Structure 1
Amino acid sequence: MSRGHAVTTGCVLLVTVLTLGAVPAGADPRRNAPAKAKAKAKAEAVTVPGTPAPSAGSAFKPPPGMVEAIVRDLALSPTQARARLLNEARLMPIAARLSRSLGPRFGGAWLRPKTAHTLMVATTSVSDIPQIVEAGAQAEVVSTSLAELTSIKQRLDTALPPHPFVSSVRYVDIKTNKVVVLTPEPGRAQNFIRKADVDRSSVVVLPSTEVPRPLYDLVGGTAYYTGVTSRCSIGFSVLKGTREGFVTAGHCGRKGSTTTGFNRVEQGVFEGSVFPGSDHSWVAVNDRWRATPTVNNGEGSTVVVTGAMAAVEGASICRSGSTTDFHCGLIQQRDASVTYPQGTVFGLTRTSVCAEPGDSGGSLISLDQAQGIASGGSGDCALGGVTYFQPIGEILTAYGLVLKTGAGDAPQDAGICTGYPGTLTGVLEAGRSAYHPRNVLVPGVHSGCLNGPDGSDFDLYLEKHDGTSWSTVAASEGAGPDARLTYTGTAGRYRYRVTATGGSGAYTLGFRAP
């Protein structure tokens, strides 16, 4: 990693889909049913409008069962575990604020060491150091921005063939300022990388036998079944209008498949499902089931979900599943591309949480904030492992869902714009528009998410070129700084239009193309 400054303020794993192989999910003998600037560290939910950040005050109390799980899985004392969670609640809003203010110079943010009392923020410009230090973080100057690293990884996703033995996993490692390629055959991977149009000095190829596969037969708090023997986990409760349901992994069932609950009572129907490419789905339940904003903590109690503010790399994260209950680890890297035997899934987040067969689709949570649902992984909860999750923001956007939360009487809409394969930033004056063109080679779903400056009114449009002119095919024109839209279309020339209807300032656009 090429750094010019560091400024201070004060076993190889086989990654698979963790299927039970020849053992039916329902026959699993272990389980068959049922995450200085104290004055400036305001808990502002930058990424999820209307969702308060976790309180970092003296009355801060971690969700039930989380301290105990972190003590066990991260080898910390109870005092260290509480300190880590308090630091995460205090520092994550600062990281989100700096990400927006640094814009295209932002190189990533991560927490260290064991108690997460230090927030590291990378930038490509020395001039940003005072701002970072003043906010209460440590600054590092790097050679490549996070946006540039993300672009390199996207080009590698296209250049490397969809075969796990050429490259099973690719991710951006912000702590080394590199794009990492994991492969059991480094020589073959290097041959493809040499032909790709990327800066090879920003790419590291590491030998690995990590070959991910989807986590079949999971629960995200409690178990559910598709068919007679296929068991998966509920991720998070959601609403679509007046309809209730839950999100889970896409590989757990196809659209139209029916489910039964942990008690084998008829439960619901898969209303949408994507796998591979992404790994997400949602199930609409019947009137015998009620959506609740809770996650099983493995101790006979629950964690209440109050929002979906994305945690930064280095933050603790806990996973709930029907086989191994509640386990915790750390967020390692985002925007990982994982090649399973069934195909490649993009935009996953890599963690050190363990998981086992029957944990797919389960919920991953930092403090009381929903992060995503389990997709695949390696290892087990006896020796440890790696788990990848699909970020919650993309799932909610893809199906037009609202996360069910315990923060007040009304559920909080997730205007979260993290976890998208593409991210663009810009600055607009009132009354002006900015255009971001994309050529789309295949038909499918477009997802766009806009975070505008506080106090403004920004709108988002998706336009398509018909050969002679541009026409709007989808729009989000609500009052306020944030917007999101989805559109299913044919291949062709598209562009996003961001319009500052009222107010001015910096914005971030997250997007996903088919």
Structure 2
Amino acid sequence: MPKRKAAIAVGGVAALGAAALLLPNANASQDGASAGAAAPKTLKATDASDLASQLAKALGDAFAGSYYDSGKQQLVVNVVNGDNNLLVQAKKAGAVVRQVANSTAALKAAAQTLKTKATIPGTSWAVDPRTNKVLVTADSTVTGAKWNRLESTVQGLGSNMATIKKSAGTFKTKVSGGDAIFSQVQNGTVRCSLGFNVTASDGSPAFLTAGHCGVAAKDWSDSQNGQPIATVDQATFPGNGDFSLVKYNDATTQAPSEVNVGNGQTVQIKQAVDATVGTTVFRMGSTTGLHNGQVTGLDATVNFQSETDPNGVDTVTGLIQTNVCAEAGDSGGSLFTQDGGAVGLTSGGSGDCTNGGETFFQPVTTALQATGATLGDSGAAGAGAGAGDQSGATADPSATAGDQQAGGDAVGGGDQSGATADPSATAGDQSGTGDQTGTGDQSGTGDGTGTGTGDQSGTGAGDGSVTESQ
């Protein structure tokens, strides 16, 4: 069997603004030392995430969250009743230190009260360190008695503990992502998106995608009617996350750690990073292409309406909340930072890329820890690319992405994981193939143990046969 090179090469309509932000890798480096030991440092997003993790451990109970001020490129750390020596150390480390009223423990207690009293389909809550409150969101289905119950619960938490807002659309498992991947099921063809290539704990090549995709189907192909190339090894949805580990059937598969951002350019994925509120993040989707936005909340709980039980709810915890748009067919795809940090896998949300909305992501760090996988290529197939492969290119800092119409059957298709790019090239209207434009609302459900079945009710627009994960 010939070696297959599985690139995280994403088709879709690339947003010009997102590409312009992504490609010029202009984040300021960590400096500030000359301004004095206690002066806040300018930090790249990845450096800010690392510093936030370090300070969370150092400050202990005094730590009440942190966020990234993208305008000033500084990390802001919230503290409550902190020891003055610890605060001085946090400032010396380069963070902006802010005194707040609500501790991490108090915010978690508020979230637990919401879980107990207001687990209503179409609701979510996440900690927003910028306001030092729990942000509660209700979609368009939460009305009447449901809204009254939610509002009453939020008010009962106290005036300075939580805020509530309405969101257009309906929370569904949909997403963001990488290459289109397909699976044949009883009701037709399910389509999701590949997230990040990884190495499984046994050394075999694999990839991460959404858990609701993994419980919907076991065998996955890189083309709509192709033979399976990968098999689900582990899947979690609903419950403590939304992630799947899918192993390539061919042990010699080359699975580079990169994301194709269009026009033959790639972003090398260097490490998994924890999300930080305020950080600019990028999503490539097999339906909508490249889009960017910011992380708006952490440790989010989302209550999806069960698609198999009219009175049921599929609750997923531990997610990242963002204002990045997404549409059907992108589930499981990659969320990453400008400098190559793997952040998340798309889970679901409301809205679309015309009107906006919320999108929730499974943290990559949690998925890796749970599955025992490590980010990147196992190297089983060697470093060299085969004949015809176009390997090795990185994103061109001067290029801008245009309208790149989705190329559907493309996981590694054509081995376009790194063709050398023209520094002055501007991607034009590159129409691809594949049934990639349809909508649907395939929402995998389970019993909280990581197993379950998906309701594949949407159909793709290409030939009427593709169910897209939404």
The residue that corresponds to 2:399 in the other structure is none
In the TM superposition, residue 226 of structure 1 has moved relative to its aligned partner by 1.4
SS in 2 for 1:379: coil
Corresponding position: 1:161 with 2:119: yes
SS in 1 for 2:178: coil
Aligned pair partner of 1:318 in 282, 288, 294: 282
Corresponding position: 1:359 with 2:330: yes
Contact 1:319 1:364 in 2 (8 A): yes
Corresponding position: 1:274 with 2:236: yes
Q: Equivalences for 1:96-495 in 2 at 5 Å?
A: 96-114=53-71, 116-125=72-81, 127=84, 128-164=86-122, 168-183=123-138, 184-185=142-143, 186-193=147-154, 201-209=160-168, 211-215=170-174, 220-227=177-184, 228-240=188-200, 241-254=202-215, 257-262=218-223, 264-277=226-239, 278-287=241-250, 289-342=253-306, 343-366=314-337, 367-404=339-376
CA–CA distance in structure 2, aligned partners of residues 374 and 297 of structure 1: 17
Distance 1:75 1:378, change over 3 A: farther
SS in 1 for 2:297: strand
CA–CA distance in structure 2, aligned partners of residues 180 and 271 of structure 1: 35
Residue 349 of structure 1 aligns to which amino acid in structure 2? Answer: I
Contact 2:295 2:322 in 1 (8 A): yes
Contact 1:255 1:271 in 2 (8 A): no
Between the aligned residues of both structures, percent identity stands at: 34
Q: Which runs of 5+ in 2 are unaligned?
A: 1-9, 30-41, 307-313, 383-446, 451-470
CA–CA distance in structure 1, aligned partners of residues 48 and 256 of structure 2: 28
Render the CA deviation track for 1:397-438: whole Å, top value 9, x for unaligned.
22222222699x99xxxxxxxxxxxxxxxxxxxxxxxxxxxx
In the TM superposition, residue 376 of structure 1 has moved relative to its aligned partner by 0.8
CA–CA distance in structure 1, aligned partners of residues 57 and 273 of structure 2: 14
Distance 1:310 1:161, change over 3 A: closer
Contact 2:325 2:352 in 1 (8 A): yes
The residue that corresponds to 1:474 in the other structure is none
Render the CA deviation track for 1:275-314: whole Å, top value 9, x for unaligned.
2223111211111743221112123222111111214111
Render the CA deviation track for 1:158-197: whole Å, top value 9, x for unaligned.
2213422xxx1111111111112223444221334577xx
Residue 190 of structure 1 aligns to which amino acid in structure 2? Answer: E
TM-score of the pair, normalised by structure 1: 0.59
In the TM superposition, residue 146 of structure 1 has moved relative to its aligned partner by 2.2
Contact 2:218 2:232 in 1 (8 A): yes
Distance 1:296 1:406, change over 3 A: farther
Contact 2:199 2:378 in 1 (8 A): no
Contact 1:239 1:401 in 2 (8 A): yes
Distance 1:123 1:271, change over 3 A: same
Residue 224 of structure 1 aligns to which amino acid in structure 2? Answer: I
Residue 328 of structure 1 aligns to which amino acid in structure 2? Answer: N
Contact 1:353 1:385 in 2 (8 A): yes
Q: Which has the higher contact order (CA 8 A, sep 6+)?
A: 2
SS in 2 for 1:385: coil
Q: Which runs of 5+ in 1 are unaligned?
A: 1-32, 35-67, 411-441, 446-514
Contact 1:308 1:369 in 2 (8 A): yes
Q: Equivalences for 1:74-89 in 2 at 5 Å?
A: 82-83=27-28, 87-89=44-46
Residue 100 of structure 2 aligns to which amino acid in structure 1? Answer: V
In the TM superposition, residue 199 of structure 1 has moved relative to its aligned partner by 5.4
Distance 1:399 1:117, change over 3 A: closer
In the TM superposition, residue 89 of structure 1 has moved relative to its aligned partner by 4.2
CA–CA distance in structure 2, aligned partners of residues 150 and 178 of structure 1: 10
Contact 1:320 1:326 in 2 (8 A): yes
Contact 2:119 2:303 in 1 (8 A): no
Contact 2:173 2:331 in 1 (8 A): yes
In the TM superposition, residue 266 of structure 1 has moved relative to its aligned partner by 2.3
User: Which stretch of the first structure deviates more once superposed, 176-185 or 308-317?
Assistant: 176-185
